[in-house]
Amino acid sequence: MSKPISVRVIERAIELIEDRKRWTMSAEAMREDGSLTHVFEPDAVKFCMNGAVKRAAYELTAEDKIAATDLANKVIDELHRFVMVQTKGASVAHVNDDRELGKGRGWRKQISLAAASRRNHPRVLKLLREFVTVMES
């Protein structure tokens, strides 16, 4: 039996960002030099969670931008609902980009981008893998 398209998209998204050097925060896609680009551009090599889903959908639709956008929006909607439940209300973007510590009792502190990257990247991959598990069951 063939895997659902949502699962195939997320599995490819995981492959795209599994190496932390290919994952980014606060931008859907970046070039190797760190400059911004669009997820469909051939020079895009770093992606946030949403960007990786969009790029995966683009690759799985034979680079058809309209079909890829429709597919990515569908998968991101499903993923967003899943993430909201798993994180008790956080959005996909928040999980990917969060730089705050200590949300209890009004105490908040911004952490460095490097520290946030070390913390958030494993969280992103864990949520994506959990999503695949749920979608396959």
Mean pLDDT of 34-59: 98
- pLDDT over 70, % of the chain: 93
For the chain, give the mean pLDDT: 92
| Percent of the chain residues past pLDDT 90, beyond the cut | 80
Average pLDDT over residues 43-57: 98
Q: What one-character-per-residue DSSP string does the chain give?
A: -PPPHHHHHHHHHHHHHSSGGGB-SS-SEE-TTS-B--TTSTT--EE-HHHHHHHHHHHHTTT-HHHHHHHHHHHHHHHHHHHHHHTTS--HHHHHH--EE--GGG--EE--HHHHHHHHHHHHHHHHHHHHHHHH-
How many distinct structural domains can be found in the chain?
A: 1
Structural domain including 119 reads: 5-136
> How high is the pLDDT of residue 1?
65
Express each pLDDT in 99-122 by its tens digit: 875 555 555 567 788 888 888 999
d(CA 30, CA 45): 6
Q: Whole-model pTM?
A: 0.91
Quick: pLDDT tens for 13-35.
999 999 999 999 999 999 999 99
Closest CA to 10 of 1, 21, 18, 2: 18
